[in-house]
Amino acid sequence: MMLDDFMHLYDDTVQTNTRFVGFMGETVRFDLVIMRTDRFYGKMVVMDIQSSKFAIIGKDDLEEEGYLEFAFGINAESAEELKFFLEQTF
């Protein structure tokens, strides 16, 4: 297989604003990479370095029940701590 065999859907280079932040909640430590770009309609790419999981998150996603638990594989208490932190970043 050669590179020419792939059907490219997109191949863009964009500017980002990237923040690296670590904090300890009551139950778990978070080491996050928060990336902002105009690519995702105002949402952020949030990557958890500890678990190697990520999600594209907007304010609306924070209000969706169970979203953070599912996306990051964390329990409800840890999700509340993450939600509180992320709400401050918008």
Q: Which residue has the tokens 């065999």?
A: 5
Q: Is 14 helix (H, G, I), strand (E, B) or coil?
A: coil
Contact present, 28 and 78 (Cβ < 8 Å): yes
Q: What are phi and psi of 38, to 5 degrees?
A: -85, 5
| CA distance linking residue 68 with residue 28, whole number of Å | 14
Element (H, E) at 19: strand 17-24
20-76 tens-digit pLDDT: 999 998 989 999 999 999 889 989 999 999 999 999 999 999 999 999 999 999 999
Between residues 3 and 9, the one the model is more confident about: 9
* Strand, coil or helix: 41: coil
